C-alpha cells in the first residue's frame, strides 16, 4: 500500500513535518498512471527526465497543481502534453502520497490518477516518452515505481468486481482477445470460457451478432462481443478473480 492519504479535508497534511518552517504549505502535484495492454503485456506510460532531480530516471506524466485549478483539471492538463486525453477511456483518483522525504528538494504531496487506454489505439507521444512493461520498469524517479505498482493492484482488484475491462478492450473483440487483455492485466492465465460465463452473467458484455472473418489459414469465424456500457459500473461487489490452482 502507498505511504499516503493522511490528508485533512483542506488538502493539508495532518502534521507538520520536521524541518519545515511554521505555516509553510507543501507543493501539490498530480500524476497519472496510464496503462495499456501492448504486445500482450500491461505497459505504463513514462517519460525520461532531462534535468535534476533524478536526471535520466523515468517519471509518470504530471506536474504541479496550479492555484486556479482542481486536481482533475490539473491532471487532464498535464496528460494532454503526453497523450491525447480523448484516448484515455477511464480516469480515477488512485491515492495521495505524502512522505515528506519523497522529493529531495522540496516538501511535496502527490495525488495520482489511474488512466486506461484501450487495446489497438496507438497514442502519439513526445520523443521523451515511452511505454514500458510494468514487470520490467526502468529506474523510476521519486516514488513513481511504487505508485505504478499501486495502480496495477487497483486495476487488478477492479477487474474482479466491475466492468472496467471496457477501458482496456477494443470496441468489439473475440473472447480470445478479451482473455488476452485480462491475462496481461491480471498477470496469470484466464480461461476464455470462464470469462465469458462470468461477464455474461453479470451483464457486462453482449454478443454483437457479427463474427470476425477467419484468416488465411481458415477456421471458423469467431463471434464478436462488446461491453454493454463504457461507463464504470460495479457488477459484483464481492467477486474475486483468482489465478488457477
Q: In whole angstroms, what is the distance from residue 183 CA to residue 51 CA?
A: 37
> At which of 99, 124, 158 does a domain end?
158
CB count within 10 Å of CB 169 equals 25
Domain closes at, from 131, 158, 185: 158
In 119-245 the beta strands, taken as DSSP E runs, fall at 129-133, 205-212, 222-227
59 and 111, same structural domain? yes
Q: How many domains does the chain have?
A: 2
Taking residues 212-232, what's their average pLDDT? Answer: 85
116 and 138 fall within a common domain: yes
Choose the final residue of a domain: 143, 158, 173: 158
Question: What are the cell numbers at 84?
Answer: 491525447
Asked whether residue 18 carries a pLDDT value surpassing 60, the answer given is: no
Is residue 65 domain-shared with residue 110, that is, in the same domain?
A: yes
Statement to judge: residues 152 and 212 lie in one domain? no
148: helix, strand or coil: helix
Q: Is residue 235 in some structural domain?
A: no
Residues 70 and 139 occupy one common structural domain: yes
pLDDT in tens, 173-214: 999 999 999 999 999 999 999 999 999 999 999 999 999 886
Say which CATH number the domain at 119 has: 3.90.79.10
Q: What whole-number distance in Å separates Cα of residue 111 and Cα of residue 127? A: 25
Give pTM, 2 decimals. Answer: 0.89
151 Cβ contact list (under 8 Å, min separation 6): 33, 35, 44, 94, 112, 114
Domain assignment of residue 216, yes or no: yes
Task: Residue 94: give the domain boundaries.
Answer: 27-158
Amino acid at each position: 500500500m502507498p505511504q499516503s492519504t493522511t490528508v485533512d479535508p483542506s488538502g493539508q497534511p495532518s502534521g507538520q513535518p520536521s524541518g519545515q518552517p511554521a505555516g509553510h504549505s507543501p507543493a501539490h502535484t498530480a500524476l497519472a498512471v496510464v496503462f495499456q495492454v501492448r504486445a500482450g503485456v500491461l505497459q505504463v506510460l513514462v517519460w525520461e527526465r532531462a534535468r535534476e532531480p533524478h536526471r535520466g530516471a523515468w517519471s509518470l506524466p504530471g506536474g504541479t497543481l496550479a492555484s486556479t485549478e482542481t486536481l482533475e483539471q490539473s491532471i487532464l492538463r498535464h496528460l494532454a502534453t503526453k497523450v491525447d486525453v480523448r484516448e484515455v477511456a477511464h480516469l480515477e483518483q488512485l491515492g495521495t502520497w505524502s512522505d515528506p522525504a519523497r522529493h529531495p528538494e522540496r516538501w511535496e504531496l502527490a495525488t495520482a490518477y489511474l488512466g486506461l487506454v484501450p487495446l489497438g489505439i496507438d497514442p502519439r507521444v513526445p520523443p521523451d516518452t515511452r511505454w514500458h512493461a510494468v514487470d520490467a520498469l526502468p529506474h523510476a524517479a521519486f516514488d513513481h515505481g511504487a505508485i505504478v505498482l499501486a495502480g496495477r493492484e487497483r486495476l487488478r482488484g477492479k477487474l474482479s468486481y466491475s466492468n472496467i475491462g471496457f477501458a482496456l478492450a477494443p470496441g468489439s473483440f473475440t473472447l480470445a482477445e478479451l482473455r488476452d487483455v485480462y491475462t496481461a492485466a491480471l498477470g496469470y492465465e484466464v480461461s476464455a470460457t470462464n470469462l465469458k460465463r462470468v461477464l455474461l452473467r453479470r451483464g457486462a458484455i453482449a454478443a454483437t451478432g457479427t463474427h470476425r472473418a477467419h484468416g488465411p489459414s481458415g477456421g471458423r469465424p469467431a463471434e464478436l462481443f462488446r461491453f454493454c456500457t463504457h461507463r464504470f459500473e460495479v457488477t459484483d461487489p464481492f467477486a474475486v478473480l483468482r489465478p488457477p490452482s
